[in-house]
A and B are shown apart, each in its own frame.
Chain A
Amino acid sequence: MQNTKKKLLSISNLKKYFPVAKSSIFQRNQLYVKANEDITIDIYEGETIGLVGESGCGKSTFGRVILQLYDQTAGETMYYGRTLADVAPKYVAKTLLLINFYCKKYSKKRALADKLTAEVNNVGEDAADFFLLQKKNLAVAEAQTELAHIVKIIGGFFAIDNKKEGTVPLLKIYRENLRLVKAKEKTEKYRASIDFLSGKEPKKKKDGTVIKPEDTKRYKWLQESVGKLETLQRQISDRMANLKTQLKAVKEKYADNEEFNKYEAMLDDGIDLARLTYSEMRPLRRDIQIIFQDPYSSLNPRMTVGQIIEEGLTTHRFFKHGSKKMREYILQVMRECGLQDYMLHRYPHQFSGGQRQRICIARALAVQPKFVVCDECVSALDVSIQSQIINLLQSLKEKDNLTYLFISHDLSVVKYISDKIGVMYLGNIVEYADKDAIFSDPRHPYTIALLSSIPTTDIDSLEKERILLEGNIPSPIRPPSGCKFHTRCYMACDKCDRVPPPLVEVEPGHFVACHRLERKIGENGEYLFELPKMVKKTVKQSEIKNEEEKED
């Protein structure tokens, strides 16, 4: 199933640290809030990924890092919705030109990482100083990221001493590609102008002659230019194909080289969002959108609904500002999101919470994105409105084959909307699986506790035992050593507080980060382990039963 779907985003070893302000000028070591730690996740087209966790576990941060609203500390966020050939970002040229510089930088970082790792190994992981460990982890992650940066662009040539052999043809291809991209952009711009002109009313002169828009000088010039650009594009494509066959020939020389093949496999045609410049990221924002949590503070109070939706459309040059098509398109989007036509000129304060959230959704979906991050987008709404919005999101998804990252703390909502669910705890994904697997066969103790603590409207559920976690989430500045959950875990062993568990695949597509991977829930929903602290939900159910017995 999975392999037939197209990969849209691939996030690997993502880290996001927020530096904490130093408390005194003599403080030598920097402290960080470790919001995201080593998150690796693949998102396929048309899927909805649900992300649950308590507040402060870093789920919102993760959503924003994907959109590059925060800079990531380490790791890669690869986006496959467009290929490198479509965008031609500057970082590719930079890497190819300055390949020696980058390689030196990498070897320096690798040396530092190795040195710190050796230092830690000397003292032993348990005894190592907190700051030393932190330094080591950061250095290792940075070295890894640096390597990925180089290899993803030059591939197998990284293993060869004479890197120029690969970078020179690659750079040539890149430059041709850049020309192609620019030519394409220009053609599109001209085409849009042609469309705009032909939509205009014919002008009447004083002497009675009518000038159709097709007859104007500008119109003719535009059409001519478009024709020229198209031939140019064809030429460039031919040249590129030529260069590519040349490159292939060079690569064949090294077909037997094992090292070469190893790195060649890491070659990637996705776009590393983290390395894009601000202006390069702008056009990509069209593909990845966000719906914020609070519809009251995420809409500009001084803009009407029409202006709010139009802003994105003009930025991404869908239609000209003020054109008829623009207006029609806005109204169409509004109708799809359940807003009436007459609301076009209203201001956000004239709407209720649910309607505002609809405006936010319309704004996000107007630019036809491929990927939408829904950051707690139904949490602030009333129950009856919440279900309206969930159904709306669901139907829009089916219509446009959208991909959602649905962030919420409400497991029942996440279950309803998602295909896959990731459970986060203190910056890590502790369990990631299909939604059915998470609910029928949860493996991580945190997931089990989370599931058992949701209040449901099912009266039979009152009889079920619930697991109460003790205490609060620990601080993400100095998270517990080993498994981060061990301080609240009811089945922790002494291994847990020393060794951080890796995320392993226990069943196809079911990943868990825990040392105790055995099945924990039986076929009939009973717990297969000794309950940590047996607490009856309420005495209510038993009371009701007693009464019934008495009546009988």
Chain B
Amino acid sequence: MPLLEVKNLHTYFKTKKGIVKAVNGVSYSVEPGKTIGIVGESGSGKSVSAMSILRLLDANGYIAEGEILFEGKDLTKLSINDMYKIRGNAISVIFQEPMTSLNPVFNIKRQLSEPFMIHQGMKKKEAAKYAVKMLEAVQIPNPEAVMKQYPHQLSGGMRQRVMIAMALACRPKILIADEPTTALDVTIQAQILNLMNDLQRENGTSIIFITHDLGVINEMADDVVVMYCGQVVEKASAKTIFTNCKRSHPYTEGLMYSIPKLDSNDKLEPIPGVVPHPLALPKGCKFAPRCKYCTKRCEEEEPELTMVDEGQLVRCFYPDKEERKSAEHQKEVIVHF
């Protein structure tokens, strides 16, 4: 039984120019103790879909349709007071930029004791004791001294560790990590990823890992959700996606070929073109204008997310790699670039 189920989620934003459908019918589920990775380019709706779970949306954003089931409750229908009890307690978030998400006018002690005082009703002194323990758990050297410091006195890696400590304070069941290592250097990134892995093993937390770095996904995730233009285009286990699988979405395939690899000198094959504007999405398949296998059917009809293999769902009419590369298919292809 999954811990969290996102069903047919639609999150829209009202703007002056019209309604932006940032998330358009996304479904996935999170199993206890597992890591689910969400990849996509900027603007693909990966962050919005995860933030919708906690309803941390901008004022003009709203969930138009869909259910988010967490332990039998639908989070979209809970009152705001009930949401407060869940945020930071059962489900917590690590944000992308550790500088802007820590409060610069409070010291670490005050910020880190907060979850203990709010969710577990501890007194100040007791909470501080636990806060030190949390800092130790995230391997910050000399935690007592760090408690008295302010965010600007810490380096990027340290701030991100504090954020992780804060997120894990109440031993959440689900941790949403929104690009937690994007702003960090590789050596620090390796430290943080390792730390998250260790903490997950200890506490059995489920992680929703959002990133655009496929390498990080390979290292962290058990299941991968690939998003494009607010839709899930592929859903499979990491093992299937990163090994040479028979079937896949052309977008996933393109992403794989467009990152330079350390162990080969193959020429890069970039995906041509850019992500379409959210207010002017193509009629048929959203990826059709950039796809090198696109046919007339792709431009007119929208494909459904269909099961192509055990545990692998792909939103494409031609999921088979061999088939779409064959000469027969090439006849029908519409060349855009």
Which of A185-193, A359-367, A447-455 is near enough to bind chain B? A447-455
Contact, CB under 8 Å: B218 / A384: no
Contact, CB under 8 Å: B239 / A457: no
Known A-B contacts: A352-B274, A383-B213. Give 17 more (CB < 8 A): A354-B274, A382-B212, A382-B275, A383-B212, A384-B271, A387-B271, A390-B268, A412-B259, A455-B218, A456-B263, A457-B242, A458-B218, A462-B218, A466-B194, A472-B155, A472-B188, A539-B197
A460 to B42, CA, bound (A): 28
A-binding residues in B (CB < 8 A) = 41-42, 141, 155-158, 185-191, 193-194, 197, 201, 212-216, 218-220, 222, 238-239, 242-243, 254-256, 258-263, 265, 267-272, 274-275
- Is A416 part of the binding interface, using a Cβ–Cβ cutoff of 8 Å? yes
Closest to A53 in B: B185
A458 to B219, CA, bound (A): 9
A54 to B156, CA, bound (A): 12
A459 to B242, CA, bound (A): 6
- Is A409 part of the binding interface, using a Cβ–Cβ cutoff of 8 Å? yes
Residues of chain A lying within 8 A (CB to CB) of residue B254: 384
- Is A413 part of the binding interface, using a Cβ–Cβ cutoff of 8 Å? yes
B78 to chain A, nearest CB (A): 34
A19 to B191, CA, bound (A): 32
Contact, CB under 8 Å: B191 / A469: yes
Instruction: Count residues on chain A whose CB falls below 8 Å from chain B CBs.
Output: 48
Residues of chain B lying within 8 A (CB to CB) of residue A471: 141
A444 to B213, CA, bound (A): 27
SS of A interface (majority): helix
The 6 A-B residue pairs with the shortest CB-CB distance in the complex, in nearest-first order: A455-B215, A416-B260, A453-B190, A387-B258, A387-B270, A384-B271
A240 to B267, CA, bound (A): 51
User: If the complex has contacts A416-B260, A455-B218, are A355 and B190 also in contact, measured as CB distance less than 8 A?
Assistant: no
Contact, CB under 8 Å: A456 / B262: yes
Residues of chain A lying within 8 A (CB to CB) of residue B261: 412, 456-458
A459 to B271, CA, bound (A): 23
B-binding residues in A (CB < 8 A) = 54-55, 352, 354-355, 382-388, 390-391, 409-413, 415-417, 439, 449-459, 461-462, 466, 468-472, 535, 537-540, 544
Out of B157, B185, B191, B238, name the residue touching A468 (CB < 8 Å).
B191
Contact, CB under 8 Å: A388 / B185: no
Contact, CB under 8 Å: B259 / A472: no
B57 to chain A, nearest CB (A): 23
Closest to B274 in A: A352
A214 to chain B, nearest CB (A): 46
Out of B197, B214, B262, B268, name the residue touching A391 (CB < 8 Å).
B268
Q: What are 26 pairs between A and B in contact, CB < 8 Å?
A: A54-B188, A354-B274, A383-B214, A383-B255, A384-B41, A384-B270, A384-B271, A385-B270, A387-B259, A390-B268, A409-B185, A409-B186, A412-B262, A449-B187, A450-B187, A453-B190, A455-B215, A456-B261, A456-B263, A458-B218, A458-B263, A459-B242, A468-B187, A469-B187, A469-B190, A472-B188
Contact, CB under 8 Å: A387 / B274: no
Residues of chain B lying within 8 A (CB to CB) of residue A411: 186, 262
Q: How many A-B residue pairs have CB under 8 A?
A: 135
Closest to A458 in B: B263
Closest to B184 in A: A55
Closest to A52 in B: B186
A255 to chain B, nearest CB (A): 51
User: If the complex has contacts A383-B214, A416-B260, A457-B215, are A355 and B242 also in contact, measured as CB distance less than 8 A?
Assistant: no
Contact, CB under 8 Å: A538 / B219: yes
Contact, CB under 8 Å: A454 / B186: yes
Residues of chain B lying within 8 A (CB to CB) of residue A469: 187, 190-191
Closest to A352 in B: B274
Residues of chain B lying within 8 A (CB to CB) of residue A388: 270-272
User: If the complex has contacts A383-B41, A385-B274, are A457 and B186 also in contact, measured as CB distance less than 8 A?
Assistant: no
Closest to A386 in B: B258
Closest to B216 in A: A455
A411 to B270, CA, bound (A): 18
Contact, CB under 8 Å: A412 / B242: no
Residues of chain B lying within 8 A (CB to CB) of residue A415: 260, 262
Contact, CB under 8 Å: A456 / B190: no
Residues of chain A lying within 8 A (CB to CB) of residue B259: 383, 386-387, 412, 457
A455 to B258, CA, bound (A): 15
Contact, CB under 8 Å: B260 / A382: no
User: If the complex has contacts A384-B270, A390-B268, A469-B187, are A455 and B239 also in contact, measured as CB distance less than 8 A?
Assistant: no
User: If the complex has contacts A55-B185, A384-B271, are A456 and B218 also in contact, measured as CB distance less than 8 A?
Assistant: yes
A423 to chain B, nearest CB (A): 12
Residues of chain A lying within 8 A (CB to CB) of residue B271: 384, 387-388
Residues of chain A lying within 8 A (CB to CB) of residue B214: 383, 457
Contact, CB under 8 Å: A416 / B42: no
B210 to chain A, nearest CB (A): 14
Out of B157, B187, B222, B267, name the residue touching A453 (CB < 8 Å).
B187
Contact, CB under 8 Å: A382 / B239: no
Residues of chain B lying within 8 A (CB to CB) of residue A455: 189-190, 193, 213, 215-216, 218-219
Residues of chain B lying within 8 A (CB to CB) of residue A470: 191
A415 to B262, CA, bound (A): 7
Residues of chain A lying within 8 A (CB to CB) of residue B268: 387, 390-391, 416
Out of A385, A412, A451, A544, name the residue touching B239 (CB < 8 Å).
A544
A469 to B216, CA, bound (A): 18
Residues of chain B lying within 8 A (CB to CB) of residue A540: 222, 238
Task: Please indicate which of the listed interface residues B201, B215, B259, B265 has the most CB atoms of chain A within 10 Å of its own CB.
Answer: B259
B200 to chain A, nearest CB (A): 10
B256 to chain A, nearest CB (A): 7
Contact, CB under 8 Å: B41 / A537: no
Out of B219, B239, B255, B265, name the residue touching A384 (CB < 8 Å).
B255
Contact, CB under 8 Å: A382 / B42: yes
A112 to B141, CA, bound (A): 43
A293 to chain B, nearest CB (A): 14
Residues of chain A lying within 8 A (CB to CB) of residue B218: 455-459, 461-462
A475 to chain B, nearest CB (A): 10
A53 to B189, CA, bound (A): 14
User: If the complex has contacts A411-B262, A469-B187, are A391 and B270 also in contact, measured as CB distance less than 8 A?
Assistant: yes
Closest to A382 in B: B41
Residues of chain A lying within 8 A (CB to CB) of residue B141: 471
Closest to A54 in B: B185
Contact, CB under 8 Å: B256 / A457: yes
Closest to B214 in A: A457
Out of A355, A386, A387, A537, name the residue touching B219 (CB < 8 Å).
A537
Closest to B157 in A: A472
Task: Please indicate which of the listed interface residues A439, A451, A453 has the most CB atoms of chain B within 10 Å of its own CB.
Answer: A453
Task: Please indicate which of the listed interface residues A439, A457, A538, A540 has the most CB atoms of chain B within 10 Å of its own CB.
Answer: A457
B46 to chain A, nearest CB (A): 12
Residues of chain B lying within 8 A (CB to CB) of residue A468: 187, 190-191, 194
Task: Please indicate which of the listed interface residues B186, B201, B216 has the most CB atoms of chain A within 10 Å of its own CB.
Answer: B186
A59 to chain B, nearest CB (A): 12
Residues of chain A lying within 8 A (CB to CB) of residue B216: 455
A535 to chain B, nearest CB (A): 6
A127 to chain B, nearest CB (A): 28
A289 to B134, CA, bound (A): 49
A537 to B186, CA, bound (A): 14
B146 to chain A, nearest CB (A): 13
